[in-house]
C-alpha cells in the first residue's frame, strides 16, 4: 500500500514541464553565464612557455591558486629531473656518472628512458637520446651557439653515441652505460612527458575538460564550453614575407581526447654563412637533418609517445619517415617542401598523411 496518494496526471505533467525547463535553463546558463567559462593558466618552464585551459564553472580564488601550484609543481619536477641545462638535475648527474654500477633513476625519468629506447629500436636509431654530445657540439646544448664541428670531430663524437650503449634495469629502476662518456638528452621527449604529467594532475583535482600546451605539444581532454571538442592548429612552416618572419595556420583539427606533437626545422635553428641548421641532429650522420621535410605532426593517446615519434619521423625525412609511420600505424601528418608522389598540394605546401590520420580527421584513407 503506497504511503501517499499519487499526484493527479495534470499536476505530474506540469511538474515534468517545470523540470525540463529547469534543465534547459541550467544548460543555457552554463553555456552563456560569464561565470562558467574557460579559466587559463600560463607561464614559463623547461626553457619554453606553457598554458592550461580548463572549461569549468566559477572557481574561488583559493581553488585557482591550488590549481596553479599543482601545475607549477608538475612542471618544476620534470625540469628538475630531465633538464640538461641544470647542473643539479637527475639527468645531468647521470651524464656525469661513469661508474660500472647501474645509476638509480626516479620512476619518472626511467619511464621516459623506456619510451625513448622503444622508439629507438623501432626507428633503428632515428630517435637516439645518446646524441647529447653532438647536440652540444653543434651549439644546441647548454653551452649555447658555437662554431660548428667539422667531419673529423663528428666521427670522434659518434663513437660515444648509440642507444645500444644504454641498458635499462626496470627493477631498479636504473640505467647503465656500456662505455664512459655516454650522455643523454631528453629534450625530444621530456615536454611530451610533462604534458601527460600536467594532465594527470588536473584529473587528480577532479577536472576532465581541459587543454594542456607546453612548447607546442598538446593534450586535449573532454570538451570546450559549447560541448565541442577542443580545436587546435597544425602550423605551416614559418615563411618570410617583406623581410619579416611570420606564422600561419595550416590546418585546424578537432583533438578528441588525444595528444599532439610536432617536430620540424622551422622554429629552432641557427644560420651560419647563409645556411640554416636545424636543431634536430641525425644520429646516423652526426649532422643536423637536411631534407625537404618541414614538419611532422603525430597524434597519440599519450603526449610522451607523440613527442618521441614526431622526432624520429622528422629525423628520417619525408619518405622513410612516412613509410615507418605507416608500418607502425601511427596517425601522422607530414608537410614537405617538395612534391611527393601521392601527396596533396595546399598553397605550395606538399602534405601527406597516414591512413590512421585520414580515418581520424577526414573519414577516408589517403
The domain defined by 40-79+188-361 carries CATH number 3.40.50.970: no
Going from N- to C-terminal start, the domains of the chain cover 40-79+188-361, 96-177
State percent of the chain over pLDDT 70. Answer: 77
Rg (CA), the chain: 24
Instruction: Tell me the H-state helices in 205-354.
Output: 303-316, 320-327
Place of cell 634536430: 280
Cα–Cα dist 230/222, whole Å: 8
Q: Which fold has domain 96-177?
A: T-fold (1.10.3980)
Q: Tens of pLDDT along 258-285? A: 999 999 876 666 666 666 677 888 998 8
Q: Give the Å distances, CA to CA, from 315 to 101, 181, 281.
A: 32, 24, 7
Instruction: Tell me the H-state helices in the chain.
Output: 9-32, 61-82, 90-96, 107-122, 132-137, 151-158, 190-204, 303-316, 320-327, 355-361
Nearest partner of 307 among 97, 147, 119, judged by Cα: 119
Nearest partner of 54 among 66, 29, 36, judged by Cα: 36
Q: Tens of pLDDT along 62-121? A: 999 999 999 999 999 999 999 999 999 999 999 999 998 999 999 999 999 999 999 999
Residue 292: pLDDT band with limits 50, 70, 90: confident
Amino acid at each position: 500500500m503506497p504511503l501517499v496518494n499519487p499526484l493527479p496526471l495534470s499536476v505530474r505533467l506540469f511538474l515534468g514541464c517545470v523540470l525540463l525547463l529547469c534543465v534547459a535553463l541550467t544548460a543555457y546558463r552554463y553555456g552563456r553565464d560569464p561565470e562558467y567559462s574557460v579559466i587559463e593558466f600560463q607561464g614559463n618552464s623547461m626553457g619554453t612557455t606553457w598554458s592550461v585551459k580548463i572549461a569549468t564553472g566559477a572557481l574561488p580564488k583559493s581553488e585557482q591558486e591550488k590549481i596553479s601550484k599543482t601545475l607549477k609543481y608538475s612542471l618544476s619536477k620534470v625540469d628538475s629531473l630531465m633538464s640538461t641545462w641544470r647542473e643539479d638535475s637527475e639527468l645531468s648527474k647521470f651524464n656525469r656518472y661513469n661508474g660500472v654500477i647501474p645509476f638509480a633513476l626516479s620512476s619518472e625519468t626511467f619511464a621516459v628512458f623506456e619510451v625513448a629506447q622503444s622508439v629507438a629500436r623501432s626507428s633503428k636509431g632515428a630517435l637516439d637520446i645518446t646524441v647529447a654530445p653532438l647536440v652540444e657540439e653543434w651549439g644546441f646544448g647548454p653551452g649555447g651557439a658555437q662554431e660548428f664541428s667539422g667531419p673529423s670531430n663528428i666521427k670522434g663524437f659518434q663513437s660515444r653515441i648509440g642507444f645500444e650503449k644504454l641498458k635499462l634495469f626496470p627493477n631498479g629502476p636504473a640505467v647503465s652505460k656500456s662505455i664512459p662518456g655516454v650522455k643523454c638528452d631528453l629534450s625530444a621527449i621530456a615536454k611530451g612527458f610533462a604534458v601527460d604529467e600536467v594532465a594527470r594532475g588536473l584529473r587528480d583535482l577532479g577536472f576532465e575538460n581541459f587543454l594542456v600546451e607546453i612548447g607546442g605539444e598538446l593534450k586535449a581532454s573532454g570538451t570546450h564550453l559549447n560541448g565541442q571538442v577542443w580545436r587546435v592548429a597544425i602550423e605551416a612552416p614559418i615563411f618570410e614575407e617583406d623581410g619579416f618572419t611570420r606564422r600561419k595556420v595550416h590546418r585546424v583539427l578537432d583533438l578528441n581526447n588525444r595528444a599532439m606533437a610536432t617536430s620540424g626545422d622551422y622554429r629552432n635553428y641557427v644560420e651560419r654563412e647563409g645556411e640554416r641548421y636545424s636543431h634536430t641532429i641525425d644520429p646516423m650522420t652526426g649532422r643536423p637533418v637536411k631534407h625537404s621535410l618541414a614538419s611532422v605532426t603525430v597524434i597519440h593517446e599519450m603526449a610522451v609517445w607523440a613527442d618521441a615519434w614526431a622526432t624520429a619521423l622528422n629525423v628520417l625525412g619525408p619518405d622513410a619517415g612516412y613509410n615507418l609511420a605507416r608500418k607502425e600505424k601511427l596517425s601522422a601528418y607530414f608537410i614537405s617542401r617538395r612534391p611527393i608522389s601521392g601527396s596533396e598540394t595546399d598553397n605550395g605546401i606538399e602534405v601527406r598523411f597516414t591512413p590512421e590520420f585520414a580515418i581520424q580527421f577526414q573519414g577516408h584513407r589517403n
